[in-house]
Structure 1
């Protein structure tokens, strides 16, 4: 199974969710919960990650964070592995603790982050764990709402700055209490299953990642970025192969190195996933069945032929995959 595509850049906000394997508990007691928060603080310092909100539920957790470096996957991988190792060591167990990879939603800005903090903090109430959120210990809500002492790495100033007046904490409490009716509207701004924000923000993301080709094994990436211009792909490929990209177009018969280079580009477009086989075939003057044949052959060739693999790797590097 392909790894999910992560939209990664400096200063990006994310909502993170991860569940226990087979929806089992990821905390057995308060010592585990304390260990989880310790590891979270270590991750924050080690990877330069700002954490704005958290809630620890019996079999999953939510985080609201911002990566000051483009390192979400590295940070969360380290976090998951480290907490799992400590949990397993303490309980004399082995194996996976979390269900697959974590889920991340890219969040447009701090205004959306405010809404997410309300959603995250209401989790224990929605799950029926408490009747009053103030009674739930393993959440950042008491820090926001009542100024209780929280972890030193928790940032509350950004969210609270959106609540004006003499008592921002009281305003925050009142907003959380009234948020039940507004919660559904938050998810109306969910775009392509992975971006929480406006359509303009999606367009900004497309512009930011315009040179990144789409991987057919990652449909969420295809949905966001769309198609790459074939002429641009051929032009960039010419920088790798050092020939005129015009020789690849049309029905011209190719031999030797030229044929291998063309077939590598065909495979690249096929794996890119944004084009149907018939569309790729029209670019190169061949039928859709030939595209399928070439794709299968080159996929195997790359695993056996170091020269072809090296050229394909350079092709991927050219597009910053």
Structure 2
């Protein structure tokens, strides 16, 4: 990728920002009209708007691979009535509690590991990173839980 939007050869940024003439197939009036009525001012505001978001990827804010919005918005999404195995796991588990909350509400660390993995679909890697341990440690704890050595709440 590039450091600055104006460096991306295939982007409409340069034309929209007033750095180049717009090709015949590109209409910039609508987008610029969202910033100001006067074209020069709109272009300056557009450049400022784009610069504000440089280096910040909207992909980081996606929840469950399909939703982009605040925590309040995500919480308002209805939970599915039936388990749909063809829906990717991360999408099915959108409204699961955070690992921090799961461990705070668990009586023991092992119980938290078991609950996070079995009930809420967290991966061993995610749990291990949260706890600051190797994923093999999480795997051993889960195996111990499966053998009935811990009790769940």
So what's the TM-score if we normalise by structure 1? Answer: 0.23
So what's the TM-score if we normalise by structure 2? Answer: 0.41
Report which structure shows greater RCO (CA 8 Å, sep ≥6): 1
